[in-house]
Amino acid sequence: MIELIIVLAIMGILGAVLVPSFINMRNNAKITGDITTIKTVQRAMDVYFIDLDTDKIGTGSNLITKGEGLGATPSKTATSSNLLTDSTGIIKALHDAGYMDTTQQNLQVSNAGIGYDGNHLFLEIPNKLLDKYNDSAKNKDQGWLK
């Protein structure tokens, strides 16, 4: 009976230590997936701007003006949660022009937004997740996060 109690105590301790680590790894995987999505869209945008010799993509609140920012009145700090999914979003515009295979892309991280600083897209995530992601590993994706 004592052996069973000891085994259960050890399993409880291991569970208490490992569960938070697994949750953190899951969140990090979602963030990494969203960064990959943004990098893919950014590359397609760069090719779109060069091929079509233009500096605008999207419409309305999802208008991106190269060198300025995001929105109908471009702001370098604006973010949008529907930039990738809206019918006026950039993925739809890139798809219609033949630069992407899909018409929309959903973010995996809840409460995340997409921003555009005039040159690059970035993923804006809640500070709590951002701090854990930056602390978890030496990652190369910090330029894609805000």
pLDDT tens column, 2-43: 999 999 999 999 988 888 888 888 888 888 888 888 888 888
pLDDT tens column, 80-128: 656 666 666 777 788 888 888 876 677 777 777 777 777 778 777 777 7
What's the pLDDT score for residue 76? 52
How buried is 19 (Cβ within 10 angstroms: 0-12 exposed, 13-18 middle, 19+ buried)?
A: exposed
pTM for this predicted structure: 0.73
Percent of the chain with pLDDT over 70: 74
Q: Which two tokens stand for residue 2?
A: 């004592």
Residue spans per domain, the chain: 2-144
Sign of CA dihedral 50, 52, 58, 59: positive
What's the pLDDT score for residue 71? 60
